[in-house]
Chain A
Amino acid sequence: MSPDVSDLIMQQSSHDSDEGSIPGVLVDGAFWYWQRPIDEASLDFASSLRSARKFERYAAGALGLGLFGVFALGTALVHAADVLTLDFWTTPSWTAAAIYLAILSWLFVPYRLASDHRKYLSLQQLGTTIAPELSSIPSPAAVERRHDIADAADAEALQAIEEAYRLALRSSHADVNALHLFTASLATTPVQILFARLGLAFDDIRDPLRRRFSTVKQGTTVFGSQAHGLLAKALYGAMINHRASLSALDIFVAAFEAEPFLTELFASKAITPEELDNVVAWLRISDDLRQRYQAFRKAAAYKPTSNMNRSMTAVATPFLDSVSYDLTRAAVMGQTGLLVGRDTEMANILRAIEGGDQSVILVGQPGVGKEALIDGLADLMVEERVPEVLQDKRLLKLSVPHIVSAEGGTGAEERCLFALNQVAHAGNIILVIENIHELVGQGTGLDLASILAGELNRGYTFVIATTTPQAYAEVIERSVISPKLQKITIDEPNRNDAIRILEAKAGVLENKHQVIFTYAALAAAVDLSTRYMHDIALPEKALELIKEVALVVSKRGEKPAWVRKEDVATLLSERTRIPVTEVSQGEGEKLLHLEERVHERVIGQEPAVKAVAAALRRARTELRSGKRPIANFLFLGPTGVGKTELAKATAEVYFGNEQAMIRFDMSEYQDQNSITRLIGSNGQAGLMTEAVRKNPFCLLLLDELEKAHPDILNLFLQVMDDGRLTDGIGRTVDFTNLILIATSNAGTQFIQDQVAAGTALESIKQALLDTELRTTYRPEFLNRFDDVIVFAPLTLEDVVAIAYLMIVKVVERLKAKGIEFSVTDAAIHELAEQGYDPKFGARPLRRVIQEKVENPIADYLLKGQVSRRDTLIFDQGGKIILQKAPEL
């Protein structure tokens, strides 16, 4: 019934050659292409063969058991007495035959298992120096060495390929294409993990996929050159990524890349090809880590953990051991994490060590992973995959505090020398000195660095030191030890590398807290920490963040709990008080009605309020540039028209709190020296930089900017342009999350005159920018502002409205004392008229209200004439009517 396998191969080949060429991968002189026939008959055959194989295994095992049963029974019933005698084993008997045959049947089981497991060829055993290339051949005879891609595929990949064919067959599609392979791979474990990481469910893509399937050409299903080409691409992907075998994941990726529709489909679910790449890399990294870990454990068994080297030429170092930590031993014990990436840096370190200039210093910001690199070096030393000078050596981390601070700090030099002496004696020790700047210039006159430099000069050992760029510039470069240390700069990893490091570290956290990270969560941890946390570098800050998130999420009690992007954003919001979560429905509503909310506090000034509200909306919906402050405004206008009030209202509306404002009166910064007060100098932090560093999410209000020294204006030029400043300590302070508002009285007279003459605000502004302000500000400075907003002098109606607002505040204060207070409209108009001054805006109004309203009420209160539940009415002419409440 079933066609012969070789016939099928012949058919397949002829089918392919009909189409012109066979797609495949050329590597190391051999051509890999798909040879295994995929059609109904051969799949059925393969399937029954698999069942038969399974049957053989079980049958052999069962036969063995049965025979063993016979032996046991025979022994018990017949040979109980003589089973332990030689006679029994030498005299022919069915019982003895049974045990021999039983063992023979059992030997069949490992045979079956072993020959099943050898199913695929290991791609990793191929020559890795030769890059594979996608190509095609006219016929199998064109190349000498041929391989079947199927031999490199693992069980799940084969299953997916068969399923793809069956899928096409069920729907009577003419050709097995990328869609079929894609859909079939969805049922496999790696792709399901991939979907879970992406936070995507099959249901999300089912309907579009089904609609797409309905457009596929109908006909007799063939597993043809299209499918063969895709599998060649999948194999190519597996090879260049150094996979051991062709997995369902590789097929998934090849299918995804081949079909633009799938890219569109994923994009509609907000998944970019880059994100998909990173998740695929994540799965591969986990795989690699597992392999690496196994290899490492194997190698670790051969590394001595005592302080002796293999040849026993070393010397015991009791003192040194008490002031240091053995990194190689820790690595053997599995206490160091595996290093991910950083290949270039590690190669640099090894090259520096190997090439004469032995001692190295790793210079990098806190958190970039200097320690991880040193741990990685310890791992390599355990595996002995290091230059000869490092082989069979111990890596010891010197504890600087132990040296410096024991016995109240006295005798530090002796201890240091003693430790170094032991290093010299032992001859198998490489020292690691973290934060070596702590050794240099200890202030108390002792300089351990010169001791260390002297010992390094003798050349019996070398050290691996770490420090920060600031400390390197300030301390190390000037010290005697500097020429001995070769500098290796460790930069912050870029976004993708940082994400991959997190991917590698996520597994441990997932196990520990029983949570599962989505890809978006890791990406958000990197993105958000880059944007909002500036004290430490990547990847450390992102790692800290996901550690904390994992803990928080695990407390929710779901099993397993998913860590999503929103969880990371929420945690970061809590820590930094910056709203980084997605704009919610309620908040969207609030943002759309910003103007109304601001107008609850600020009267008039329509254009100013509108400009500010628009800027805030842009910021919250992420439409602004991320490299400048949220908004830069210059408020121009006479005093008392609401410039400061609008700034306060903005702080309250956007940052949730009127206090989220850093205010500097620039009249205090009129001379050139005041610049150092703002940003600090010579190791001292500045007033403004420190305030912004501690509270990066706030409103920075610069009052009376025109009074500041011109150099300070240049400083703000940079802030508005780059969104950052470097302070006196050398730290970069981030200004990208604040709103910068400068107020200025420059041109006030001009504004008042023009408004009085009835000129439109817009033309006043233009005239100001073109002429009036030129004397105070340089044009490029003015250009940096998102908007220069002219505040018109207040009209009497405005002042009336302000009077209402101020009275409301008095009412609220009295309400707290249980006293009702009301003011007639006529009285308010009267107050407004008294408090209105075209020159000073609403400022006199406050004084008027104090004098006319608050003072008399204070008298009432002090005299005890008014008590709880009473009502006070303020009427025209400063009259106050008291209505006593009825007795209780």
Chain B
Amino acid sequence: MAGSCLQDPECRRRVYRVEDLEVYYLHMQPAVIKDVLLDIVMFPVWWYSRGLILMLRRAADTLKGYAKYMAIGVWIQNMFVPMFGQHDWQSRLISIFMRLVQIVGRSFGLMIIAIMVIGALGLYITLPIFLCLQAAYHVIGSFMYVS
């Protein structure tokens, strides 16, 4: 019965809509199977090509956002402009000192964030390899243990 439905386009269409699961079962044409297999093979390729680019882009966006938030450039630009509109020389001195502290502090903060972002990237790159190696080690090891 399943076979006859495959031959009849009207029946096939009906089946697509009503029972998705049945479709997987019924309609695994060779071309589709080929495509699915290709898709699985493409998984690691995608991970280290387009997927990696996406991740890099996201990491860059995150870093850019935090850099804007910390506004270190603004602080450097205004290095010698007194804070809070206090123009006497004492205030200027304190201001320069405060700005230095701010710049150092903010740079440090940004650095930590950068390290975290890079760490996440590193995890993205190494995780599948690590998982594969570990899985292989345990599977092969278990086989050897059994034998």
**CB within 8 Å of B: which residues of A?**
1-2, 4, 40, 44-45, 47-49, 51-56, 91-94, 96-97, 100-101, 103-104, 107-108, 111-112, 114-115, 118, 166, 301-302, 310-316, 392, 425-427
Cα–Cα, bound, A49→B54 (Å) = 25
Residue B78, interface by CB 8 Å? yes
Number of A-B residue pairs with CB-CB distance less than 8 Å in the complex they form = 123
Contact indicator A45/B23 (Cβ below 8 Å): no
Given contacts A51-B27, A111-B46, 20 further A-B contacts (CB under 8 A): A48-B27, A51-B23, A52-B32, A56-B39, A92-B141, A96-B138, A97-B139, A100-B132, A101-B131, A104-B132, A107-B131, A111-B51, A166-B13, A311-B75, A311-B77, A313-B78, A315-B84, A316-B84, A425-B85, A427-B85
Residues on B with C-beta less than 8 A from A53 are 39
Known contacts A2-B29, A312-B83; A100 and B138 CB within 8 A of each other: yes
Question: What B residues does A55 contact at CB under 8 A?
Answer: 24, 36
Instruction: Judge if B28 is at the interface, Cβ distance under 8 Å.
Output: yes
Q: Is the CB of B135 within 8 A of A104?
A: yes
Residues of B whose CB lies within 8 Å of any CB of A are: 9, 12-13, 16, 20, 23-24, 27-32, 35-36, 39-40, 43, 46-47, 50-51, 54, 65, 68-69, 71, 74-75, 77-78, 81-85, 127-128, 131-132, 134-135, 137-142, 144-145
Judging by beta carbons under 8 Å apart, are B131 and A104 in contact? yes
B85 touches A97 (CB 8 A): no
Question: Among the listed A45, A92, A97, A111, which residue makes an inter-chain contact with B32, where contact means beta carbons less than 8 Å apart?
Answer: A45
A45 contact set on B, CB distance < 8 A: 29, 31-32
What are the 4 closest A-B residue pairs judged by CB atoms, nearest first? A92-B141, A97-B138, A311-B78, A100-B135
| Residue of chain A at shortest CB distance from B130 | A100
Which residues of chain B are near A314, meaning CB under 8 Å?
84-85
A20 to chain B, nearest CB (A): 32
> In the complex, what's the smallest C-beta–C-beta distance from B30 to chain A, in angstroms?
7
Minimum distance in angstroms from B14 CB to a CB of chain A: 12
Question: Which of A52, A54, A104, A302 contacts B28 (CB under 8 A)?
Answer: A52
Bound-complex Cα distance A476 to B36 (A): 75
Q: List 6 A-B contacts (CB under 8 A).
A: A1-B31, A51-B24, A52-B36, A108-B40, A311-B78, A315-B85
CB contacts (< 8 Å) of B65 on chain A: these are: 302
**Closest chain B CB from A602 CB (angstroms):** 72
With A49-B32, A302-B68: A96-B134 Cβ-Cβ less than 8 Å: yes
**Complex contacts, A392 vs chain B, CB 8 Å:** 74
Cβ contacts under 8 Å, B140 to chain A: 92
Distance in Å: Cβ of A56 to nearest Cβ of chain B: 6
Shortest Cβ distance from residue A1 to the other chain B in the assembled complex, whole angstroms: 6
Take A49-B32, A115-B50, A313-B78 as given contacts and tell me if A100 and B134 are in contact as well, using a CB distance cutoff of 8 Å: yes
* Pair A426/B74 contact, Cβ less than 8 Å: no
Nearest A residue to B25 by beta-carbon distance? A55
Known: A1-B29, A104-B135. A310 touches B9 (CB 8 A): no
In the complex, A629 Cα to B100 Cα: how many Å? 75
User: Which chain A residue shows the least CB distance to B140?
Assistant: A92
Closest chain B residue, CB of each to CB of A53: B39
Q: Are A313 and B83 in contact (CB under 8 A)?
A: yes
Which one of B54, B85, B132 lies within 8 Å of A114 (CB-CB)? B54
